[in-house]
Amino acid sequence: MKTFTEKEEKLNSSLKRLKNLNLINPSQNHETEHLKDQKNQLEIEKHQLESKYKLLMDNYQKLKDRVKKQDINQKNKELMFNEKIDELNQETDILMEEIDKWQT
């Protein structure tokens, strides 16, 4: 009977040691750490790229608004120029009529 009890104790002891044993292979642990480092680096780069993208989009929108504003200003200038030409044409017509009156 003593041998049976001893065997049981040894078996229980062995089971406890197996439960406490770390089953991770050291090379796997190193690889896992390396992958974690790479993941962190990629996340940092992703964040930087997102920030740059946001900055570029903001600049794009500002430039787009600026071009639109310049187009509106250009159209307004063209309209004013055309109005001035029309006024000058009318004045020229009036002057020509006056010259014709004086010549006849």
Q: What is the pTM of this model?
A: 0.54
Q: Residue 20: name the closest of 32, 29, 28, 12 by CA.
A: 12
pLDDT in tens, 41-57: 999 999 999 999 999 99
Average pLDDT of span 9-27: 75
User: Distance between CA atoms of 67 and 62, rounded to whole angstroms?
Assistant: 9
Q: Residue 89: name the closest of 21, 40, 81 by CA.
A: 81
The phi and psi torsions of 23 (rounded to 5 degrees) equal -90, 0
**What mean pLDDT value characterizes the chain?**
88
pLDDT in tens, 25-42: 667 778 888 889 999 999
